A and B are shown apart, each in its own frame.
Chain A
Amino acid sequence: MAKDTTRRSFIKAGFAAGAGLAAGQASAAGDPLITETQDWNQQLGFGVDERPYGIPSEFQKHVKRRSVPWLTADPISSINFTPLHELDGIITPNGLCFERHHGGAAEYDPASHRLMINGLVDEELVFTMEDIMRFPRENHVYFLECAANTGMEWRGAQLNGCQFTHGMIHNVMYTGIPLRLILKEAGVKADGKWLLAEGADASGMTRSIPMEKALDDCLVAFKMNGEALRPEQGYPLRLVVPGWEGNMWIKWLRRLEVGDQPWHHREETSKYTDLLEDGNARRFTWVMDAKSVITNPSPQAPITHGPGPTVLTGVAWSGHGTIPQVDVTIDGGKNWHKARISGPSLDKSMHRFYYEFDWDGSELLLQSRAHDSTGYVQPTKDELRAIRGTNSIYHNNGIQTWYVNKEGVAENVEIS
């Protein structure tokens, strides 16, 4: 395969193969990949240290974050999307975790990083990264979902690909310090009910967080999936706010201020508030409700093998807890089937589900529906729009539909 082969031509090639001789099928003399000696059977591969920091196979170049250029004015204050249709299991590889910056991704020496605690505390403190590394650590797997994930789909089906409709999410294992241990060092005063977290980057991102959440399960993290945070994820230090909208997970975390009231800064007033039909807006809509999406088949990952045994898979998550059940329909919601969940079922983490079926080659309308541990069942987009109107945009956790035609090509649609 030529090096510049794109995903699209790869898909086309797949169809061509499907129409003629299926890949791996033997001719009379047998498959030449078996009957003839191949280069890699004979010649030596690359040695150790040739790729001292390992990289994916060159045949995986189509697996990458992608952006939607018309969404934002500038790539410095912008967003891209995790290629969910290329992944499996529950962990997102660090290099594929979607990026959202407001002033570019700051990159600086961790020796120059400081974390300050000020405000309503017994003692205002400054920590170096060396200090941070002396606190007791914890490991937790959490999803991080942007409040705007699936926002472009609010008014109707718009983007063809689960990367674009649902890719503002990632799920990694964090190593970090419970935030309450760091706050304890400074001593929160009795009227300290709110926390302002602030980033060190050029956007100086700030969010107000209620003290109840800060003392509950928030982490100050320095590792993701075992290695240092990537620069685009806030290296050397970020806040982890499990189950709550991604914007609150302040990257390049440099300051925590304790106060008696919220600050009502830009990202919690002008942005990330939900404008409803009557012109009033919900604020402090922090928790990300239960949601799921079928990642395969999907518009970027059509069925190329024709009728027969077919694997349907996807991911589900909830900011309220775990996902004990995911239902799947292939007929647009007339009948639902319990999907099989495989892999760990962790609090506020992605869950992986599968539904294997024998495709008869007819048209499909695919949907998934998550149930979370509170008993909440993922609603349809129409049910949400009936409550919120058409201007809400953020926090869209409605059911996604993919239409699959007889050729196996999938499209983003809405159904009655």
Chain B
Amino acid sequence: MLKFLKILIAVSFITSPVFASSLGLGRTATQDEVAAWNTDIRPDGIGLPVGGGSVIDGEEIFVEKCASCHGDFGEAVDRWPVLAGGDGTLSDDRPVKTVGSYWPYLSTVFDYVGRAMPFGNARSLSNDEVYALVAYILYVNDTVDDEEFILSNENFLSIAQENVDGFYMDDRPQVEYSKFIREACMSNCKETVQITARAAVVDVTPEETAAAATAETAVANAETEDVAALDAELVAAGTKVFKKCKSCHKVGEGAKNGVGPHLNGIFDRAAGSNEGFKYSKAMKAEAEAGLIWDEANLRAFITKPKAMIKKTKMSFPGLKKEADMNAIIEYLKSISQ
């Protein structure tokens, strides 16, 4: 690293004369513009906004917006990232790398949640909500044990991550290159050779079978026939709008429940009737009350989910444009025939 820094200094001397001239392209960024995008956080706390949130508040937000992928306690669903546990496993045969066991800096959690979460609705959390979520993640990792604990910009730097000293600068030049910059043997290099492992034994390579290809064609054909009765242009537009939905809702042949229930046959179907999906209590109550996903109800729900069903798990904020709404309704009809 020292050598690397020396090079840096040398480079800055070499390049400084080049910096004397410029093309005069671009314009000065306004303060508001820089503030809007410059939200990154560093381990030394630079970038942390003023604010705070408690473990209890964090739990409520987490269950509503994060638990469908990460599990109620950060244990994760399917192959989504595990956020908690794994303490002391880093040198085990199967290490569990979580925020608690592996991440060296808490600032990384704040930065990442703020910029990329929840999946499918990034940059929608307030700073206080992010503080609360980070506090909850600390709690499920046993870094803090008081559920009244409030994490804020004031105490943020006092929280140390367990694995903060678990990383060091790339040492391949010393450890590996010194070994592998070498002469290579060309003939009579070994006497015997044996196969020690075979991929066929593991058998995890994806297969494409003729049956699957035929099924795909059949589905494609079926869809073409069905949508003929609908407004094809609107369905096409709806397919695009559906990009906002498809990270959570699967459709088509063999679609499975994901973060949200699959939507095959959703139109005119009874609410909460998708077998195997863990609906929110609120949705179950609506289902018992006899809610049917007809056009009017779908429109109302998709416009602003939480306005219609306050405690729904669906974190999507809602479709604002009338044109998008018309398109998505036509699309949902098309996948329900």
Residues of A whose CB lies within 8 Å of any CB of B are: 4-9, 66-74, 76-77, 102-104, 116-119, 123-127, 131, 134-135, 156-161, 164, 180-181, 184-188, 190, 193, 196, 198, 202-204, 206, 210-212, 215-216, 254-255, 257, 259, 261, 263-266, 269-270, 273, 275, 277-287, 289, 299, 327, 331-336, 365, 369, 371, 374-379, 383-384, 387, 390-391, 403, 411-416
State the Cβ distance, A220 to closest chain B Cβ, in Å: 12
Residues in B with CB closer than 8 Å to A210 are: 4, 8
A371–B214 Cα distance when bound, in Å, is: 46
Give the distance in Å from the alpha carbon of A216 to the alpha carbon of B187 in the complex.
40
Contact A73 B78 (CB under 8 A): yes
Interface of B, secondary structure class, is: loop
A310 to B148, CA, bound (A): 72
The 9 closest A-B pairs by CB, nearest first: A332-B193, A279-B91, A412-B199, A279-B90, A204-B115, A73-B79, A414-B197, A125-B26, A124-B29
B23 contacts across to A, CB distance below 8 A? 134-135, 181, 185
State how many angstroms separate the Cβ of A322 from the closest Cβ of chain B: 15
Report chain B residues within 8 Å CB of A104.
243, 247
Q: Residue A158 contacts which of B4, B202, B207 (CB distance < 8 angstroms)? A: B202
Q: Are A334 and B169 in contact (CB under 8 A)?
A: no
Cα distance A104–B11 when bound, in Å? Answer: 37
Quick check: B119 and A77 within 8 Å, CB to CB? yes
Offer 10 A-B interface pairs, CB within 8 angstroms, sorted by A: A4-B213, A6-B210, A134-B23, A157-B202, A185-B22, A203-B116, A279-B166, A286-B170, A387-B175, A414-B195
Would A103 and B122 count as touching, CB distance under 8 A?
A: yes
- The residues of A that contact B177 with a CB separation of less than 8 Å are 374, 376
Interchain CB contact under 8 A, B207 and A8: yes
Report A107 CB to chain B, min CB distance, Å. Answer: 9
CB-based contact A125/B29 at 8 Å: yes
Complex alpha-carbon distance, A72 and B197, angstroms: 25
Other-chain contact of B193, A76, A278, A391, A416 (Cβ < 8 Å): A416
> B188 touching A66 by the CB < 8 A rule?
no
The residue of chain B having its C-beta at the shortest distance from the C-beta of A66 within the complex is B206
Given A104-B243, A159-B204, A211-B8, also A371-B199 (CB < 8 A): no
Quick check: is B209 within 8 A (CB to CB) of the other chain?
A: yes
On chain B, the residues within 8 Å of A190 by CB distance are 12
Contact of A127 among B25, B34, B185 (CB under 8 A): B25
* Shortest distance from the beta carbon of B173 to any chain A beta carbon, whole Å: 9
**Does the CB pair A161–B205 fall under 8 Å?**
yes
Across-interface contacts of B111 in A (CB, < 8 A): 206, 263, 265-266
Kindly identify, within residues 173 to 223 of chain B, every residue whose CB is under 8 Å from any CB belonging to chain A: 175-177, 179-182, 184-200, 202, 204-210, 213-214, 217
- A377 and B182 within 8 A (CB): yes
Does B57 touch A at the CB level, under 8 Å? no
Instruction: Return B92 CB to nearest CB of chain A, in Å.
Output: 8
Q: Is B320 an interface residue (CB 8 A)?
A: no
Docked pose: A28 CA to B264 CA in angstroms? 58
Q: Is the CB of A269 within 8 A of B28?
A: no
A204 with B123: CB separation less than 8 A = yes
Chain B residues, Cβ within 8 Å of A202: 116, 120, 122
Nearest CB of chain B from residue A105's CB, rounded to whole Å: 10
Interchain CB contact (< 8 A) of B103 among A134, A193, A269:
A269
Q: Does B80 contact A (CB under 8 A)?
A: yes
B38 touches A257 (CB 8 A): yes
Q: Which residues of A contact B209 (CB under 8 A)?
A: 6, 8
**Which residues of A have CB within 8 Å of B213?**
4, 6
Closest B residue, CB atoms, query A70: B204
Quick check: A369 and B196 within 8 Å, CB to CB?
no
Near A by CB (< 8 A), chain B positions 115-139 give 115-116, 119-120, 122-123
Of B39-47, B271-279, B281-289, B307-315, which stretch is located at the interface? B39-47
Contact string against A for B residues 1-21, beta-carbon threshold 8 Å, 1 for contact and 0 otherwise: 000100110011001001101
